[in-house]
């Protein structure tokens, strides 16, 4: 995850609008996924691109056995993000503290 985020950042991907809405090249995403699965790394600089790296992040999150935000915490997170509560920063902070340890580590 860190490697993919760093690749996107170095390639100015976070300034590109809609990088998580644009599909990466399916063959390239599959090839990079297999490299990560087989070796723990992939040739991102040589053959990767920002949309494919973003697609790998989405794929990783989809394949997690448990959701990053447990179902019982969806409402507090959504309320804080939507800004419907005047204390949304405190709600978000308390919601992060409520995450199980594995999800809390991923959110950092």
Q: Is the domain of 24 the same as that of 75?
A: no
**CA-CA distance, 99 to 76, in Å (whole number)?**
12
Please count the structural domains in the chain.
2
Bigger pLDDT: 103 vs 60: 60
Both 83 and 54 in a single domain?
no
pLDDT value of residue 43: 95
Q: What is the pTM of this model?
A: 0.71
pLDDT at 74 over 50: yes
Distances (CA, A) of 72 to 19, 24, 76, 86: 29, 32, 9, 21
Average pLDDT in the chain = 82
The domain containing residue 92 runs over which residues? 71-107
pLDDT of residue 104: 46
Mean pLDDT (whole number) for 26-33: 96
Q: Are residues 19 and 48 in the same domain?
A: yes
Average pLDDT (38-61) is 94
pLDDT of amino acid 32: 96
Q: Let me know whether 48 and 77 are in one domain.
A: no
Instruction: For residues 58 and 80, state if they share a domain.
Output: no
Is 80 found in the same domain as 57?
no
The model's pLDDT over 80-95, given as tens digits with 9 standing for 90+, comes to 777 655 566 666 666 6
The pLDDT assigned to 105 comes to 47
55: nearest Cα among 106, 19, 27: 19
**Residues 10 and 58 grouped into a single domain:** yes
């Amino acid at each position: 995850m860190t490697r993919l985020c760093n690749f996107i950042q170095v390639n100015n991907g976070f300034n590109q609008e809609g990088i998580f809405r644009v599909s990466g090249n399916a063959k390239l995403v599959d090839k990079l996924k297999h490299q990560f699965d087989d070796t723990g790394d992939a040739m991102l600089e040589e053959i990767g691109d920002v949309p494919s790296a973003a697609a790998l992040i989405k794929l990783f999150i989809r394949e997690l056995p448990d959701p990053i935000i447990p179902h019982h915490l969806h409402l507090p997170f959504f309320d804080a993000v939507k800004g419907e509560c005047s204390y949304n920063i405190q709600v978000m902070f308390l919601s992060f503290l409520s995450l199980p340890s594995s999800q809390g580590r991923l959110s950092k």
